[in-house]
Amino acid sequence: MTSTSTTLRRLRLALGATAAAVVLTACTSGPTTSASGTDKASDEIASLASSSAEGGADGSNKKLKPGTKEYDDANSNHHRKRYDCQRNKAESLGIELVDDGNGGLTPKTDEHFGMKSDGTYLNDFSKRYIEGVIQACDKEFPIPKELEDSSQEKEEQLKKSQKIAACMRKEGIDVKDPTLNDPTVALDPDDPRSEAAHAKCEKG
C-alpha cells in the first residue's frame, strides 16, 4: 500500500503535535470495502453527526506541560478515544481504516480522496469520510483544554506555515497564506508539483 501524509505533516506543523490526528490528503492504497449510494451515505453521515456529543474532555482544564508524564498520558488517552471513535464510525459507513505509518489512520482504498484547494470535496467518498468520520469525531472528542497549545505556540506554528506558503509561491505554486482560523497550507491533490514544493519548503 502506498499513501501520502502531506496533510498530516502539515497539520502537525500548523497546530502542534497534540492536534495531529487523522487528516486527509489525496492518496491511493489497496482495495476498499466502502459503501456506495449517495443518498444512503448522506443519511448515515447525518445520523453519525447528530449522535456526536459536544465536549468529551479528558480530565480537568489545567494546562499541562508538554514532555511531562501527565501530559503524555492525557494526550495518549485523548488520541486513543479519537481512534476508537474513527474506527467505529468508519465501520458503520463500510470504510476500513489502517495505520498510516505516521501515528494516524487512513482509509484502505484505491480511490483518491481529500479536499480541493477551493474547499470542495474531490468526490463522494471524500465527503462520506470527512463528514462521517473525521468531523464527527472532532466534534465528539475535541482537543482538551489542558492539551491545547498556548497563544504563543500557535503564533509560532502559524509563522512556520506562512513561511512554507511563501516559499511555495516562489516555487510557482499558488497557495493562500495560512491564518489562525485556517492554519494549514492547502495543497492541490490534483497537482503533484504542489506536494513536491511543500516537501522542499518544509525542509527549509
pLDDT in tens, 16-38: 333 333 333 334 333 333 344 44
Which DSSP helix (H) or strand (E) runs through 196? helix 192-202
**AA identity, residue 68:** T
Distance CA 7, CA 14 (A): 10
Identity of the highest mean pLDDT range in 73-87, 95-109, 172-186 = 73-87
Q: Which residue has the higher pLDDT, 30 or 200?
A: 200
Mean pLDDT of 178-183: 79
Predicted pLDDT of residue 139: 93
Contacts of 156 (CB under 8 A, 6+ apart): none
Q: 203: pLDDT confidence band, cut at 50, 70 and 90?
A: confident
Q: Is the predicted pLDDT of residue 7 greater than 60, yes or no?
A: no
pTM of the full structure: 0.52
Q: Where are the domains of the chain?
A: 6-148
Predicted pLDDT of residue 29: 39
Distance CA 98, CA 38 (A): 24
Three cell numbers, residue 51: 449522535
Q: 133: pLDDT confidence band, cut at 50, 70 and 90?
A: very high
Q: Which residue has the higher pLDDT, 41 or 26?
A: 41
Helix (H, G, I), strand (E, B) or coil at 146: helix
Distance CA 197, CA 194 (A): 5
Predicted pLDDT of residue 36: 40
Percent of the chain with pLDDT over 90: 28
Phi, psi angle pair for 105, to nearest 5° = -125, 150
